[in-house]
Structure formats: C-alpha cells, structure tokens
Structure 1
Amino acid sequence: MSRFDPSAFLETCGLRATRPRLKIASILFGDGRDRHVTAEWLAEEIANQGEPVALATVYNTLHSLVSAGALREVRGASAGTIVFDTHTAPHHHFYDETTGELTDIASGELSVAGIPAAPAGKTIAGCDIIIRVR
C-alpha cells in the first residue's frame, strides 16, 4: 500500500497545500478509512496534535474539499450539524440518536421507489436517506 501524500492529494483537488490543509487532509484521508467528521471534531483533533487552527479555516477547507468532490456533506442527521463524509459515492446512513454516530449503509442494502418529480425548474441532484436508530 502506498503512503498517503497530502500535498499531492490537495494538488489533485486544485487546492494550495497550506499547513492547515495538509493537516486536515492527513487526518481525513491518511489511513484510507471512510470517516464521518464535524468541523468541530476536526478542529479539536488538530489542537490535540499541537497545531491549533481556527474553526473558520477548518470549515473553509472542508467546503473546498466538498467543492472538489473529495468530501460529501451530510445534513439532517442532527439539528444544525453538518457531517463531512470521506465516502463520496452515493449511499445512505444510520444515525445513532444516542451517540451521534453516523454509519454508512452499504450500497445496494436500501432501495428507494416512488421519488416524486422535482419542482418546476429544478432537477434532482441526489437522494440521501438517514435512518435514525437508538
């Protein structure tokens, strides 16, 4: 397995390799696992590693990664919280209301039928289902 190169990764996303972006990319993608994170968790993780960064910088970087297609935003799991998902292929989630944990539902495990037509002048961009569990 090749070692993750955050600088090359950011370059493929069209982003300049600043110190905070390198750190964020390393945490999110360095071990190759799918992750669900909030900006607040990420900022705290970076601070715990001795390199605090402004929460606004974390949000800006996460939104830039979403725009580049490297992350996916998941809204609606918890009121007012945006979760960023490193697994960008279409899929759905379980949301544990007790722990706040978001878990992927494997592709093909859920089918959706009867999606209504989009309102006039709009097109459907996707369908994200969050199943709440306790």
Structure 2
Amino acid sequence: MKHLIVLLLLGALSGALAHTEVTVLAPLAGAAVAAPAAVSLRFSEPVNLRFSMFRVMKLPAGQTPEAAAKAALALKAGAPQLLTLGTVPRGMAAQLRLPVKPRLAPGAYLIAWSVLSDDGHPVVGHQVFQVR
C-alpha cells in the first residue's frame, strides 16, 4: 500500500512539474511548403505572451538551426531579418498565429520561440521548414 501511495504522489508531482511544450506547429518541421501567410503554434497549456518571444527568419547559410535560433531570439522586435508582421498580442493564450511577410523566397526558414510557462519556467525551442 505504501508503494502505491508513493507512486501516485510521484505521478501527480511529475505532472505538476511538466513544462509547456509546443503540441502543433505549422508549417511542420522539415516540411516543404508554398510560402505561408502565417506560422501557427499551439501549446500544451496557455503561455504568458507578454513575457514570450516568437521569431521567424530565413535560416542563414552555413549556420546551424540552434545557433540561428539563439541569434533570432536575441534580435529586437522589428529587426530587418525578422519576417513576422504586426505585434504579438498580450495576455495568456494556448495558440498563436503569426502573420509573415508575403511571398517568402524559396529556402530554409526558422521559427524560434521563448515562452514563459504557467509554472514560471522559460521554454525555448525552434523548428525549420522549407519554402519551395
């Protein structure tokens, strides 16, 4: 019985410690698509958009996606390399649609994000897609 209680407590604790993750991202990682009008992200739980960053940019030639994501997140909003249009809304949201500049040229593009999860922990990630 003791073991069952410990297992139940550990299961509940691990769920409470789980961080937010991206559950759906469009375009999909590695997908080759026509130039999208927007990129979309859906999270496993609402994130605080006020303390989050989202970046879409062309993947620089010769740069790894990891290095490009780090550089993208260091850019200020409105930097010329960034391809998103408008501003990110404030508040809490579990999904987000980011319009991008029209007629993206063929090539590799990076989506990078840094969000503040509901438990206060930052969650950083990135994904690459291709425009054909």
Tell me the TM-score normalised to structure 1 length.
0.22
Q: Compare CA radii of gyration and give the structure with the larger one.
A: 2
Higher relative CO (Cα under 8 Å, sequence separation at least 6) belongs to 2
Relative to its length, the structure with more strand (as a share) is 2
Please identify which structure carries the higher helix content: 1
TM-score in terms of structure 2 length: 0.22
